[in-house]
Amino acid sequence: MAGISAYGAYVPRLRLARSAIAAAHQWSDPSFKGKGKGERAIANWDEDAITMAEISMANLITGGEVDDEEFLTRVDLVAALGYHVLVSDYLRMFSLRSWIRRYTQKPIGIVAKSTDINYLFDESYYEGLEGGILEAMGKLFADDTRMFVYPSADADGNLVTLDNFPVPEHLKLLLEHLRSNHHIEPSEEVVEQHIHYSFENWLKQIREGRGDWEDQVPEAVRDIIVERKLFGFPG
């Protein structure tokens, strides 16, 4: 009789106390303190995932030129949090995936805000591809690549998730196909408070000096902004 006769799973032997995770995130939400119970498995140095923040120069080009100060500031702030920063000039997501695949055969996970993936279903981005958007999706989600979509608020404060993400009517079945096959999935761990944080609002507050914005960003980021008078911080 055909079927599954056995299965196995591997859980790393190292453990991390959830209380340590909660303590590290209390700056963003004090309620984390009561949620740090038990332990979770963590990978060793030779089996851990590498987390990278990708900053594309293509998205920083204004009027045909790159805003160098804006660009370098973003790199410094992300690096201050201990993350690797990947600087690219890729406009199409599948080109980024292809570059990463050159250096690893392990699964690739891409995390993006729901309000930042409009271009993914914008067919104008794929002009020149013989297969258009279908070719692009095939290249992006080839082998073991997934995209995790984090909910966020739009300019009007409305919550945008993968469930209500605006997709052109003729492409809705394509999104349904990608979701059904687990190529695109909603992010499981969501901090409700973060959803309504707005970079535009932060900029307004930063330009006014000290304020509530300091409690909404990591300490390392706050210190750099104040010390270097970034984003119009008065000095």
Is the pLDDT reported for residue 193 higher than 90?
A: no
Is the pLDDT reported for residue 46 higher than 80?
A: no
The verdict on residue 78 lying in a domain is yes
The verdict on residue 42 lying in a domain is no
Is the pLDDT reported for residue 31 higher than 90?
A: no
Phi-psi region of 95 (alpha: psi -120 to 50; beta: other; left: phi over 0): alpha
The verdict on residue 4 lying in a domain is no
Tell me how far the alpha carbon of residue 90 is from its chain's centroid.
16
pLDDT digits (tens, 9 = 90+) for 113-135: 998 888 899 999 999 999 999 99
Q: How far apart are CA 235 and CA 222, in angstroms?
A: 14
pLDDT band at 5 (very low <50, low <70, confident <90, very high): very low
pLDDT digits (tens, 9 = 90+) for 137-182: 999 998 889 999 999 988 888 899 999 989 999 999 999 999 999 9
Containing structural domain, residue 94: 50-188+196-232
The mean pLDDT value for 94-110 works out to: 89
The verdict on residue 41 lying in a domain is no
Number of domains in the chain: 1
Q: What is the DSSP letter of 192?
A: H
The verdict on residue 169 lying in a domain is yes
Q: What is the chain's mean pLDDT, rounded?
A: 83
- What's the pLDDT score for residue 2? 45
pLDDT band at 7 (very low <50, low <70, confident <90, very high): very low
The verdict on residue 34 lying in a domain is no
Element (H, E) at 127: none
- pTM score of the predicted model: 0.72
| Contact of 183 with 147, CB cutoff 8 Å | yes
